[in-house]
Amino acid sequence: MKITDIRFEQLEGVLESDIDLFRERLIRPIDIYPEHRAEGAKEMSAGRFQELGDGKWRVWNVVLSIDTDEGITGISGPMSVNEAFFVNSQLKSFLIGQDALATELIWDKMYRLLIHGRKGEAMFAVSAVDNALWDIRGKAANLPLYRLLGGPTRKTFPAYASALGFAINLEDAAATARGFADEGYTATKWFVRNGPMDGEPGARKNVELVRTLREAVGPDVDIMIDAWNSWDMRYALDMANRMAEFRPRWLEEVVKPDDIQGQARVNALSPVPISGGEHEYTRWGAREYFEAGAVDVYQADTVWAGGVSEMLKIFAMGSAFGVEVIPHGGAVPINAHLTAAQSPALTPLIEYLVHWNEFIQFFWKDPVKPVNGYITVSDLPGLGLEVDEAKVESRQTLDWS
């Protein structure tokens, strides 16, 4: 089965929802500078969606399609226009004519070809191609991805409600967290707004948020806190010690992603488990984290770190090191298949970004969403992704030839 073409379509449609996406944003590493610390949550939209008012949002998503000479097309996405351009300019010409089922060979060739792009958008591009090829493999076998990967170990598993964009003033946070618990979620992750540059007042706000969340959900719901690479080692240890009494399940990305040794020192001294790896790439990046003892939970993103092929290697490495691997929630439909094919001891949860998935999965005919706090993997062939044409108001073929 040979690859005959690689196509990109930018889909546009209108989501009708009362989501208040921009109530708050997470702390960012660049917030050490006052002018950036003052920026609002709307900076996070990245040009992929626009608030229209009256409960409506305009959404743009790019979908990658890989055609074959046997009439099977694999798709993946959504992706950005920049990522699509990278696939088109750096990978498309050499991919045409390749055996679409030879995912190991193609991944190795892409990696070797992009020797100057082993991280960042180059790896986003590799991931998009790899995921689409696994979609082809599943459709060729008429099997869902999790079956190809050796699953299921179980078909339904708990999701954790990731509260990116939700208000973190104490009253609203408490109400939202209680709502998650009432919906059946057994875990919820929140994003702090304060770091070392905010001094003791900011530190107290972080601790008070955790205290409020614990009081809101009670003792039986897990709480996680995400610092998004924006603390330093000393601040992270101070936060861990002050938050420990409220039993967070983990503190996430507490230092810059390249400071693996610093995070390892935090992990060795912290009374709270430490997670990270969302902004790391490939098995080689994961190996650095594992060998340093930097995390208790590794969170590579399937659509960033190298795709399904590479995630399988990261899962195996995590199992060998005794580190849980819970993928970052950028691709819930694919992550559901991966989770269903792994041991519950290795991958006990799946992340669900509550607001953002309304946008990320908007154009899918069968979006994968939690029911009573649990996600069930799709039995559709391949990745289970199909565009819902009823949601597409317009489409544009992206062509840089």
- pLDDT, tens digit, 9 for 90 and up, residues 233-288: 999 999 999 999 999 999 999 999 999 999 999 999 999 999 999 999 999 999 99
Tens of pLDDT, residue by residue over 163-184, are 999 999 999 999 999 999 999 9
Q: Would residue 23 count as lying in a domain?
A: no
Q: Would residue 238 count as lying in a domain?
A: yes
CA dihedral 201, 202, 203, 206 (to 10 degrees): 130
Tens of pLDDT, residue by residue over 288-311, are 999 999 999 999 999 999 999 999
Which residues of the chain fall short of a pLDDT of 50?
none
Per the structure, how many domains does the chain have? 1
| Mean pLDDT of the chain, nearest integer | 96
Q: Would residue 217 count as lying in a domain?
A: yes
What pLDDT was estimated at residue 41?
A: 84
The sign of the dihedral angle between the CA atoms of 161, 162, 166, 169 is: positive
Q: Which domain holds residue 181?
A: 147-376
Q: Would residue 333 count as lying in a domain?
A: yes
What's 316's domain CATH number?
3.20.20.120
The DSSP line for 232-290 is: -HHHHHHHHHHHGGG--SEEE--S-TT-HHHHHHHHHH-SS-EEE-TT--HHHHHHHHH
Q: Would residue 198 count as lying in a domain?
A: yes
What pLDDT was estimated at residue 45?
A: 59
Q: Would residue 57 count as lying in a domain?
A: no
The DSSP line for 286-302 is: HHHHHHHT--SEE---T
**Residue in the block written with tokens 């921009």:** 22
Q: Would residue 270 count as lying in a domain?
A: yes
What pLDDT was estimated at residue 49?
A: 87
What pLDDT was estimated at residue 42?
A: 77
Q: Would residue 84 count as lying in a domain?
A: no
Angle between helices 103-113 and 121-141 (to 10 degrees): 170
